[in-house]
A and B are shown apart, each in its own frame.
Chain A
Amino acid sequence: MFKAKLKEAVICFGAGRVTLDYPFEPVKVPPKFRGKIEFDPRKCIACGGCANVCPPRCIVIEDMGEVAKLTFHLDRCIQCARCYEVCPEDAIWPTEQFETATPDKNDLKSEMMVWMSSCQRCGRCFEYDNAIDRFPSKRWRGRGPGEANKHGIFPTKPPIAFRPPPLVREEEP
Chain B
Amino acid sequence: MAVQKEYLLDLWTHFPDVLEGLQEDVPGQFVATVPREVLPAIAKHAIKQLGARFVISVATDRRSKSGDYSVSYILAFDEQREFLVLHAHVPADDPTIASITPEVPAAGWSEREAFDLVGIRPVGHPDPRRLILPDDFPNDAHPLRREFQYNQLFAFEPQNAPPRKDAPEGATVVPMGPFYPTLEEPAYFRLFLDGEKVVGSDYRGFYNHRAVEKLGDSELNYNQIPFVAQQICGICGQVHSCAYCEAVELATGVDVPMRAKYIRSLLLELERIHSHLLWVGLAGHIIGFDTVLMQLWRIREPVMWLMERVTGNRKHYSSNLIGGVRFDITPEAEEDIRRVMDKVETEFKAVVDAVAIDTQLMSRLKGVGILTEEDARAIAVVGPTARGSNVAIDARVDHPYAAYAELGVQKQVQDGCDVWARTMVRLMEVFESIRLVRKCLDDMPGGPVMAAIERPLPAGRVGLCSVEAARGEAHHYVLTGDDNRPYRWRVRAPTYPNLQAVGVMIEGEQLADVPICIGSYDPCFSCTERVETLELNTDRIKVYSREELEELSRRKTLG
**Chain A residues within 8 Å of B, Cβ to Cβ:** 1, 3-5, 7-8, 11-12, 15, 18, 29-30, 32-34, 53-56, 78-82, 85, 129-133
Contact = CB atoms under 8 A, between A and B. Distances in A.
17 contacts: A4-B354, A4-B355, A7-B353, A11-B351, A15-B295, A32-B312, A33-B308, A34-B312, A53-B224, A55-B224, A55-B225, A55-B228, A56-B228, A81-B318, A130-B223, A132-B453, A133-B223
B308 A132 contact: no
Given A11-B351, A79-B313, A18 B221 contact: no
B291 A1 contact: no
Interface string B318-362: 100011001100000000000000000001001101110111110
Nearest to B222: A132
A78 B231 contact: yes
Most buried by B among A7, A8, A15, A55: A55
Given A4-B360, A34-B318, 13 more contacts: A4-B354, A4-B357, A4-B359, A11-B351, A18-B301, A29-B308, A32-B309, A32-B327, A33-B308, A55-B227, A55-B228, A78-B316, A130-B323
Interface in B205-224: 220-224
Interface stretch (B60-68, B371-379, B454-462, B534-542): B454-462
Contact of B455 (A4, A53, A55, A131): A131
Contacts of A80: 227, 316, 318
A7 B453 contact: no
A59 B453 CA distance: 25
B233 interface: no
A81 B220 CA distance: 17
A131 B456 contact: yes
A81 B312 contact: yes
Given A12-B295, A34-B312, A132 B322 contact: yes
A54 B361 CA distance: 48
Closest 4 CB pairs of A and B: A7-B354, A4-B358, A55-B224, A55-B227
Most buried by A among B291, B312, B323, B484: B312
Given A79-B316, A131-B455, A1 B358 contact: yes
A162 B108 CA distance: 50
A4 B358 CA distance: 5
B452 interface: yes
Given A1-B358, A34-B313, A11 B453 contact: no
Contacts of A8: 291, 295, 351, 354-355, 358
B298 interface: yes
A79 B318 contact: yes
A4 B284 CA distance: 15
Contacts of A129: 452, 454
Contacts of A1: 358-360
Contacts of A34: 312-313, 318
Contacts of B495: none
A64 to B, nearest CB: 22
A1 B318 CA distance: 44
B311 interface: yes
A85 B228 CA distance: 17
Contacts of B326: 81, 85
B29 to A, nearest CB: 22
Given A53-B223, A55-B227, A132-B453, A11 B350 contact: yes
Contacts of A54: 224
B252 to A, nearest CB: 10
A81 B230 CA distance: 14
A82 B321 CA distance: 10
Nearest to B485: A132
A104 B72 CA distance: 47
Interface in B349-407: 350-351, 353-355, 357-361
A129 B451 CA distance: 11
Nearest to B356: A4
A81 B223 CA distance: 13
A29 B314 CA distance: 11
Contacts of B359: 1, 4
Contacts of A4: 354-355, 357-361
Nearest to A20: B301
Nearest to A8: B354
Nearest to B318: A80
A49 to B, nearest CB: 12
Most buried by B among A80, A81, A129: A80
Given A12-B291, A18-B301, A33 B354 contact: no
